[in-house]
Amino acid sequence: MYRRLIAANMAGGSVRFAQAIAAAHPPRPSAPRGDNDAPEAPDAPRVPAPPALSASADDALRFPIGDQPGIGSNALAFGAPITSDHRSILFGNPHWFWRGPDRFYQAQLTIPGKVNVAGVAFLGVPLIVLGFNENVAWTHTVSSARRFGIFQLTLDPADPTRYVVDGKTEPMTPVTLSVRARRADGSLETVTRTLFRTRYGPVIDLSTMAPALAWSPQHAFALRDVNADNVRSFENFFVWNQARSLNDFMAIQKRYAAMPFVNTFAIGRNDARVYFGDIGPIPDVPDTLADACTTPISRAFASRVSGVPFLDGSKSACAWRVDPASAQPGALPVDQLPSVVRGDYVGNFNDSYWLTNANAPLTGYPRVAGATQVEQSLRTRYGHLLAARLQRAPGGITRDALESAVLETGSMSEQLYRKPLLDAVCTLNDAQSNLRDACEVLRNWNGTADIDARGANLWDEFWSRVTKIAPERLFATSFDPKHPLNTPNGFNIDNPGVVQDLRQALGGAALSLNGFALDSRAATSSTPRATARACRCSAAATNKAISRSSARGVRWTTRVIRWNRPGRATAMCRS
């Protein structure tokens, strides 16, 4: 059971690098050299050319656990001071697998007098990992903090399986694995492969991102997964299932610091506050260490993929720090991890901790914990604007209002950009153009993803093309960190080239429907839905997986938790 949960912990790190680990193999060595001799210095220092990373490099290192890039879990929690009945309320919209061996299953675990908890768990894990008991309720969203790091290794020219640390070479450790594999004719064969480990972790081949990231005679790259040393999550969930109060819940999380790749939101019975914490293993790489241990390759990498600790492995001083206050060696101590307790609201939609509360941004944490002062996703902007709208309601937020709001099927991209598109492209002069029918469909679209909405499919295809245009060229108003929920905004229609790009995007969208009518219903599409691209969702509607609750007999895709009468917590659900 422990191994099952430990394996799941690595979903934010090693699991995503399985192919890179398997593909790593040494180049052919040159002449032999003495065991402990460092390579001789060349006549002139050889500085490797910075890699030109592929366009998909950043997406490859994002961790939309359980789904496609751009889709992820959502959460909102509102404190008692701003609710209609002065009781805290929590909305959770987790995204995880609902099929296969890693799927959620829904359960209630009861031992009279000991534990009474309901929610979801992984197959093979007899604990609730997201849910509620009689005293607390909690949910998770995928954290944007990095849970791994990369070390650039300087190799012995005579032996690419030896690397230099502080002027001395040391050998990599070969690990030979054999598996049974099926041939094309259906018969089985044994495939044997030798992989290599270093003091930092396994050697990886990232040449699919850039040729310079391959294992060469000069350098190789090793992966360190901070969750490889995290064996505490089982105990964390076990004690959480029995938590007696919000204070108890928060203390448990800070004691174990075990959440592997998720943010945590929680509320407690008879407690006016709401809690957010990204409290778990995050590499102990302060910005000063990251800056002091860069290489030309790591600087080029950082320009495309933010927050990943990419360090010089030839210097022991560049290893992750070890702080006695940390829950494990090499992880940030709890007092350097983002968390906040508030009386109004907290929310997250898979961007960083920065705008947990849009009115009081969090700052001051190392880059590895998440980016600040950067453009937010449309889903994040939608979620915080939805929270602001709910808080403006006279008399405070009600459960019904929250449940209704999170199940809306509006589109943030539509709200921001449909009118500018129509104004720029769909003018009277275009009445006879090849865009006429597409323009008419978008004019008549109700702007939602309701099952009968006509125009949603066309908008999805259009938006997937528009997002490929360079943002500094596309938008009339660029991102402003002082106004993160309102920027970027508008199309730069004063630029004729941008107008032409918009025309081409709309025309391409119309053609891509592959024979389906331009005004086909949202329930009909020839291609996978692009909900993430257009952010056609409130904080809830992206996940349509349904599960039956044996405990309550309810069907749910989202959970709105609030406290009813003493001794009972209810999951208010809607399919």
Which residues does the annotation mark as catalytic? Answer: 73
Helix (H) or strand (E) holding 322: none
The dihedral built from the CA positions of residue 107, 543, 97 and 560, taken in this order, carries a sign that is negative
Q: How many CB atoms lie within 10 A of CB 295?
A: 20
Contacts with 44 (C-beta within 8 Å, 6 or more apart), sequence order: none
DSSP state of 232: -
Q: Which two tokens stand for residue 46?
A: 């050889």
Whole-angstrom Cα distance, residue 473 to residue 498? 7
Q: Give the Å distances, CA to CA, from 217 to 110, 161, 189, 222.
A: 59, 9, 32, 15
Supply the DSSP symbol for 428. Answer: G
* Rounded distance between C-alpha atoms, residue 24 and residue 204, angstroms: 5
Query: Per the omega criterion (within 30 degrees of 0), is the bond before 488 cis?
Result: yes
Three-state DSSP state, 18: helix
State how far the alpha carbon of 499 is from the alpha carbons of 48, 58, 239, 487, 492, in Å: 41, 28, 58, 20, 8
Our measurement of the distance from residue 268's CA atom to the centroid of its chain's CA atoms, rounded to an integer in Å, reads 26
Tokens coding 167: 């002027």
8-state DSSP, 536: -
CA 402/CA 573 separation, integer angstroms: 12
Q: Quick one: 368 exposed, middle or buried, by C-beta within 10 A (0-12, 13-18, 19+)? A: buried
Q: How far apart are CA 199 and CA 316, in angstroms?
A: 10
Asked if residues 373 and 546 have their Cβ atoms less than 8 Å apart, the reply is: no
Transcribe 409-423 into DSSP letters: -B-HHHHHHHHHHHH
Longest dimension (CA), the chain: 80
- The DSSP annotation for 279-299 comes to -S--B---HHHHHHT--HHHH
Q: Is 568 helix (H, G, I), strand (E, B) or coil?
A: coil
Contact 341, 255 (CB under 8 A): no
Q: What is the token pair recorded at 283? A: 């590499």
Read off the tokens for 122: 């992984």
Rounded distance between C-alpha atoms, residue 312 and residue 166, angstroms: 11
